[in-house]
Amino acid sequence: MAAPLLEIRNLVTEFRTESGLVRAVKGVDLTIEQGQTVALVGESGSGKSVTSLSVMRLIPSAIGGIASGEILFRGKGGVVLDLARLPEKAMRGLRGNEISMIFQEPMTSLNPTQKVGAQIAEAALLHQGMTRSQAWSHAIEMLALVEIPEPARRAEIYPHQMSGGMRQRVMIAMALACNPALLIADEPTTALDVTVQLQILELMRRLQREIGMGILFITHNLGVVAEIADRVAVMYGGRIVESADVHQLFDRPSHPYTKGLLSSMPQVDHAARAAGQHVRLQAIPGSVVDPRNPPAGCDFSPRCQWALDTCQAAVPPVFTVSPDHGARCLRWSEMNG
């Protein structure tokens, strides 16, 4: 059997602060197969973006970096590379070529002084060995691929002349310019309205089918997860606390944090609505764990109504809920009782 497209093993990422070393990612394990979409879900501060930046090796060495673990990527020709130990020159050859990333806010990621066509063409010039004329034509093709009208004309304009949805399509065009094997999408639809969000998700699904790439989709929106993901990994306090097939996760959440996230989604209660009653949203009490001062045991225990004394004594292991479904909770079997 071929190796997974991406396999993260026991990844630990640290930052240097005035308070000392802070662990933002604490032993993450994650696997993505070719053509698969894995959603990484959690509140802001849970370690999702740091995990993605670790894969891309984009954390400045002056402030921190990967402390231990492996990031195994199956590159072209089936060669498996450990990105955690790959020389920077080799990483530059992978970024934007075999591994691409879509960032959360395109207006801060796109260069305001360059035409969008030139920014897409840059990757083709750097990695595909095209001439400037070929790269420009390729940029126009990519704009057409992401369904931007009049792509030849739009290639000549600047980011500020486009809507938010159009700028996000440009970011996708840039990310896919070299047909990457792995696409990392960090909250790519957060700043968009619901209609445009749906269009972007449909576009990503179509392009994935055509190109066959794997996707690591980072979000806090479980509605988006239901639309696009094959598997879900729920992250809290720098750890994966539950992972499962998307249907299993929604049908049988087995960690209190996952249950809290699902319960906090807006629900339509038709009976209450007909009676003129207001239905309050449920919220997870407390705040995200402070990585500078984490609890000794389960990171979620200070906010968890199910917590036991043993939960606060040591970090729980991952329990097998069912084949291919794991939860890091001592009381996982009671979550759906």
**pLDDT tops 70 at residue 315:** yes
- pLDDT score for 273: 55
Note the pLDDT of residue 104.
74
Residue 68, H or E segment: strand 64-74
- Residues 290-308 as b or e (16 or more Cβ within 10 Å = b): ebeebbebbbbbbbbebbe
Asked if pLDDT for residue 87 goes beyond 80, the answer is yes
Banded model confidence at residue 189, pLDDT cuts 50, 70, 90: confident
List the structure tokens of 67. 């402390």
Integer Cα distance of 28 and 31 in angstroms: 10
pLDDT (tens digit per residue) in 93-109 = 999 999 999 887 766 78
Range 129-155 average pLDDT: 93
Residue of 127, 144, 124, 147 lying closest to 135 (CA atoms): 124
Cross-strand partners of 233: 40, 243
Distance between CA atoms of 183 and 176, rounded to whole angstroms? 8
User: How many other C-beta atoms lie within 10 A of the C-beta of residue 90?
Assistant: 12
What number is the average pLDDT over the span 227-248? 96
Query: Please, is 29 exposed, middle or buried when counting C-beta atoms within 10 Å of its C-beta (0-12, 13-18, 19+)?
Result: middle
Q: Are 234 and 243 in contact (CB under 8 A)?
A: yes
CA dihedral (59, 61, 64, 65) positive or negative? positive
190 or 140: which leads in pLDDT = 140
At 44 the three-state DSSP class reads: coil
Token pair recorded at residue 34 = 């070719």
**What is the Cα–Cα distance from 105 to 188, expressed in whole angstroms?**
7
Q: What is the mean pLDDT of residues 85-89?
A: 95
Is the Cβ–Cβ distance between 11 and 51 less than 8 Å? yes
What is the residue type of 297? Answer: G
Q: Is the pLDDT of residue 279 over 70?
A: no
CATH fold, domain 6-229, is: Rossmann fold (3.40.50)
Residue type (1 letter), 161 = Q
Question: Would you call 11 helix, strand, or coil by DSSP?
Answer: strand
pLDDT beyond 60 at 29: yes
pLDDT-derived band at 272 (thresholds 50, 70, 90) equals low
Query: In sequence order, what DSSP letters do the residues of 257-317 get, joined into one string?
Result: HHHHHHHTS----HHHHHTT---PPP---S----TTS--SS-TTGGG-TT--GGGGTS---
Comma-separated ranges of CATH 3.40.50.300 domains in the chain: 6-229
Q: Residue 134: helix, strand or coil by DSSP?
A: helix
CB-CB contact of 29 with 10 (8 Å): yes
Q: Is the dihedral of CA 268, 41, 285, 250 positive or negative?
A: positive
Residue 193 pLDDT level (bands cut at 50, 70, 90) = confident
